[in-house]
Chain A
Amino acid sequence: MSTLIIGLSISMLLFLLAAGLTLIFGMLGVINFAHGALYMLGAYLAFQAHATFGSFWPALIVSPLCLAAAGLAIERLTLRPLYPRTHEFQLLATFGLILVIEEVVRVVWGLDYRHLTPPPGLTGSVALFGSDIARYRLFVIGFGAAVIAALFFGIERTKLGLVLRAASVNPTMAATLGIDVNLVRSLVFALGAGLAGIGGTIAGPLLPIQLSMGFTIILDCFIVVVIGGLGNIKGAVFGALLIGMTRAFGQLYAPEWIDIATYVVLLAVLLVRPQGLFAAKERLA
């Protein structure tokens, strides 16, 4: 039972990042290699906010907002000038961002590990179905589920979601109908970065905050996104569950085989459905 809970909490963390990656790819056509670095920056900002305000909750608001603002600036300053160029330029730009973000973090926070304590009500563990389960992991699962619900509601039921679904499929026609597609791109990148900020904050009490944390998790996120189908948010949910569970149960039964196991899952999915679990034509839908 506790393995299941651990798996679910990992899945939620993976989803928060994979959702941003897949949304950004769906709308901008860019694979954001800097997504892990944004997540890492989010964790450090959460640490700073925690130290400043003395509590976890302000961090959960401040860090994502800062990341969203940074995302807005990054899209406008580094990606937008490159849209007329081929995709390699944008990939290179996101690679460059990793270097910049890592250097900023190194200069500001140094190389020491940092840690976040869970908020007061969420420390310790509860007995559930005969096993001890960390309260904070339950919170992560509930919070992640709420974010998933909010994202689906936003995409399926709001005007912005409608615009997103249309503009990601046919930006030219969307513009012909009066939609400012550049603005949509900025907002989507900001949303993706904000989700990475949420992910970084959530991860703070679970994992040590360090420079390499983004790189460690982003490989799994790429696998999640490819399994789900690039640009498909529903697919990201399933992919995250698949990889999260593989990690949790792998840790229990064959820790030295975990990384191999995630690649096996990826290969198995791609053999059965080369385009991922959900077809690209249903992007963001």
Chain B
Amino acid sequence: MLALSQADVFYGRAQALHALDLGVAPAEIVAMVGRNGAGKSTALKALAGLLSLGAGRRLLDGRDITGLAPHRTSRAGVALVPEDRQIFGNLSAEENLDLAAVSHRPGPWTKARVFALFPRLAERARARGLTLSGGEQQMLAIGRALMTNPRYLLLDEPTEGLAPVVVAQMCNAIAAIARDGVGILLVEQNAKVPRLLARRFLVVDGGRITWEGTDAADIDERFNPMNAVH
């Protein structure tokens, strides 16, 4: 289980998360939805150790990892795919993958396996990061996270701005990764994709969890800004 418990996060004096509780178990896909500015990315960054907690705790399989630095968090098995992908534009696609393996012990994920998951990446292996299309960058960002052999994967709007056929491909990949035993926290701004993948849903608004449940049927009304619950 990777979890935040009663977590507060501040940017300067502005509080972005208020006593947030959330957790994801191995092989589980949990979806966190909410409108722009709700605090979704902040929660993922806090889980990855990129933001420190003003109060509360961060837990990994029962261990308190509240103060653990980002690189140690990664080595402990938590991988973040950030919203803006952050591909190294000066490195080739293959080098982006190699880089992620440098600080980690070998595990089930190898370059060959990432290329099998995203065949398009194999074709573009030698291309510089900055020449990749949006879809290719997203595949690379996920492949790169997998190269760290994570037990928990944090995906920040992985289908944002992608063509429908690429979205479908991405959904298949995410489902396959979870079947492999990886716990996935999936962040999206709407429930279209989460509904296909997740069993458990969180709606976040104003830095608080406003709804939590397994029934995605009426979730649209819950996170849709027009009908937002407070």
Residues of chain A touching chain B, judged by Cβ–Cβ distance below 8 Å, are 159, 162-163, 165-166, 169-170, 172-181, 281-283, 285
Q: Which residues of B contact A172 (CB under 8 A)?
A: 50, 70, 86
What is the total of A-B residue contacts with beta carbons within 8 Å? 70
Q: How far is the CA of A179 from the CA of B74 in the complex (A)?
A: 9
Q: How far is the CA of A281 from the CA of B74 in the complex (A)?
A: 27
Q: How far is the CA of A162 from the CA of B80 in the complex (A)?
A: 20
The verdict on A176 contacting B91 (CB below 8 Å), with A162-B98, A162-B99, A170-B86 known, is no
Interface string of B90-112 (1 = CB under 8 A from A): 11000100111011100000000
CB pair B86–A173 under 8 Å, yes or no, is: yes
Q: Tell me which of A162, A175, A176 contacts B82 (CB under 8 A).
A: A176
Q: Which residues of A contact B74 (CB under 8 A)?
A: 175-178
Question: Which 3 residue pairs across A and B have the least CB separation, nearest first?
Answer: A178-B103, A178-B74, A175-B70
Which of B69, B90, B95 has the most C-beta atoms of chain A within 10 angstroms of its own C-beta? B90
Closest approach, in angstroms, between the C-beta of A40 and any C-beta of chain B? 34
Which of A162, A177, A180 has the most C-beta atoms of chain B within 10 angstroms of its own C-beta? A177
Q: Which residues of A contact B50 (CB under 8 A)?
A: 172, 175-176
Q: How far is the CA of A169 from the CA of B70 in the complex (A)?
A: 17
B75 CB-CB contact with A under 8 Å: yes
- What is the predominant secondary structure among interface residues of chain A facing chain B? helix
Q: Which residues of B contact A174 (CB under 8 A)?
A: 99
The verdict on A163 contacting B102 (CB below 8 Å), with A170-B86, A170-B88 known, is yes
Closest approach, in angstroms, between the C-beta of A201 and any C-beta of chain B? 32
24 A-B pairs in the complex with CB atoms less than 8 angstroms apart: A162-B91, A162-B99, A163-B102, A165-B90, A169-B90, A172-B86, A173-B88, A174-B99, A175-B74, A176-B48, A176-B71, A176-B82, A176-B86, A177-B99, A177-B102, A177-B144, A178-B71, A178-B74, A178-B102, A178-B148, A179-B71, A179-B99, A180-B71, A283-B90
Q: Which residues of B contact A162 (CB under 8 A)?
A: 91, 95, 98-99, 102
Closest approach, in angstroms, between the C-beta of B208 and any C-beta of chain A? 26
Question: A165-B90, A165-B91 known; 4 other A-B pairs, CB under 8 Å?
Answer: A165-B95, A176-B80, A177-B99, A178-B103
CB pair B102–A173 under 8 Å, yes or no, is: no
Q: How far is the CA of A271 from the CA of B101 in the complex (A)?
A: 43
Q: Which residues of B contact A175 (CB under 8 A)?
A: 50, 69-71, 74
Interface string of B77-92 (1 = CB under 8 A from A): 0011010001011110
Closest approach, in angstroms, between the C-beta of B72 and any C-beta of chain A? 8
Q: Which residues of B contact A178 (CB under 8 A)?
A: 71, 74-75, 100, 102-104, 148
Q: Nearest CB to that of A174 among chain B residues? A: B99
Q: Which residues of A contact B69 (CB under 8 A)?
A: 175
B residues 109-144 near A (Cβ < 8 Å) are 144
Q: Nearest CB to that of A285 among chain B residues? A: B90
Q: Which residues of B contact A165 (CB under 8 A)?
A: 88, 90-91, 95
Q: How far is the CA of A169 from the CA of B144 in the complex (A)?
A: 17
Closest approach, in angstroms, between the C-beta of A284 and any C-beta of chain B? 8
Q: How far is the CA of A176 from the CA of B44 in the complex (A)?
A: 12
